[in-house]
Structure 1
Amino acid sequence: MDNTLLHSTIDFGAMKRDIYAFLCSHGVLSPGLSMDTHTTSTVIAEAMNTGQLSEELSSMMWDIAKEHEIQGMLGANLEEGAMELVRQLQGQLHLAIVTNNAVEAAMAALEENRIAHYFDLVIGREAMGLLKPAPDGYMAVLRHFHHTSPKEWLSVGDAWVDGKASESAGIPFIAYRGDMARMNRMGVIPFAEIQDIQEVLGYLQPHITK
């Protein structure tokens, strides 16, 4: 969703550092974790794997993330061409959003931009066991639309975690203005690469009408 549908200003670097500092200060993680190779979601996964993340600490950790998300979503505008794209696809294809953000923050931004009603399903982190790059969110979509198969879907995102999660669920991934070098380093091989969100339409024929 971020920087694919919405041009948000969430400072993911600051979010990652703040959460890591919090986890270190409470002895859940040790100093020295490489921030270059980790994302917020992988830092959180490391914390969960320790077995030392209590319910109280977990709640406090997610509050840090939600604060960054809400601030970064304030006044977020749509990516150019996003509204036209979803208007054309609504009613012709199932439309779903999978985001590591809290669903509260995601829905607030989508509703502010009057685009929420175009989507059949919005999966926030509350519906996932593990965040992207784990495939849990995409698997939730497949369970919801149980009459569909992974290969009948296309996933669009800008980050390697999107691609890794999508590919792990068996769903072809399209990189939108992504860092291809980093994606490849992380083992993500997109089905296609686009610079304009409207280019998605070319990969959906003949399933849609003009």
Structure 2
Amino acid sequence: MMIKGIVFDMDNTLLHSSIDFGAMKREIYTFLCDHRLLPAGLSLDLHTTSTVIAEAMNTGLLSEELSSEMWDIAKKHEIQGMIGAHLEEGSMELIQQLHGQLHLVIVTNNALEAAMSALNENGVAHYFDLIIGREAMGSLKPAPDGYLQVLKHFSHTSPKEWLSVGDAWVDGKASESAGMPFIAYRGDGAKMNSMDVAPFAQIQDIREVLGFLQPLGKD
């Protein structure tokens, strides 16, 4: 099928940020343990921040007040890590070339405020037709909610008319669950394999996306 749109992850796909995801995950997990929402001894190596949060939400015990405090922890790390965030090499060139030809979307687990701040600072927010932060999702990646929101917004398109580009297994799992072909950008192949994510392509330079957009990719 002719590709009509691309969904990009943000952190370490379009933008190179310094968010300490490990510290975020540990602080949120400690907070949830302290409030007896999760048991001690959870294997954090098998989890991301979003899956730790999902575990807590699945208990049905997360009050609105505790939920707000939990998200404040995440937002603190995001805002701090977005300070001085810069575009990945080739991102601006790719975005400018595709702008006006395809639907361009970002789906990020970050708070929309933190995402927009970094995107505006780098002068790229206006190139995107839709930017979905965590507030618009029922569940974060690896759940497909954000990508399903994209399909709902662009209701004239089908999943196979999109490409999804991201660096992490959660991006791939969410994309595949929504039916979108996934391209791994500088991804950890072993980790993706262990999480049953099978990218149809792996790239090292973001501009390689053009090669999957024939005839757009032709010189």
Q: How far apart in 1 are the matches of 2:218 and 2:154? A: 22
| Correspondence for 1:146 | 155
Correspondence 1:5 to 2:14? yes
Once the two structures are superposed, residues 127-158 of structure 1 have per-residue CA deviations (whole angstroms, 9 ceiling, x without a partner) of: 00000000000000000000000000000000
| Correspondence for 1:64 | 73
% identical aligned pairs: 79
Give SS of 2:45's match.
coil
Alignment map for 1:15-30 (pairs within 5 Å): 15-30=24-39
Contact 1:6–1:78 (Cα < 8 Å) also in 2: yes
How far did 1:207 drift? 4.5
Once the two structures are superposed, residues 145-183 of structure 1 have per-residue CA deviations (whole angstroms, 9 ceiling, x without a partner) of: 000000000000000000000000000000000000000
Q: How far apart in 1 are the matches of 2:202 and 2:170? A: 15
Gaps of 5+ in 1: none
Q: How far apart in 1 are the matches of 2:97 and 2:147? A: 23
Correspondence 1:205 to 2:214? yes
How far did 1:30 drift? 1.1
Contact 2:210–2:216 (Cα < 8 Å) also in 1: no
Correspondence 1:193 to 2:202? yes
Q: Which amino acid aligns with 1:52?
A: L
Gaps of 5+ in 2: 1-9
How far did 1:206 drift? 1.6
Alignment map for 1:75-114 (pairs within 5 Å): 75-114=84-123
Contact 2:211–2:217 (Cα < 8 Å) also in 1: no
TM-score by length of 2: 0.95
Give SS of 2:131's match.
strand
Q: How far apart in 1 are the matches of 2:175 and 2:52? A: 20
Stretches of 4+ moved more than 3 A in 1? 207-210
TM-score by length of 1: 0.99
Contact 1:89–1:208 (Cα < 8 Å) also in 2: no
- In structure 2, which of residues 171, 174, 188 is the aligned counterpart of residue 165 of structure 1? 174
Give the alignment's Cα RMSD to 1 decimal.
Answer: 0.9
Correspondence 1:181 to 2:190? yes
Q: How far apart in 2 are the matches of 1:62 and 1:70? A: 12
How far did 1:208 drift? 6.1
Give SS of 1:171's match.
coil
Q: How far apart in 2 are the matches of 1:71 and 1:142? A: 31
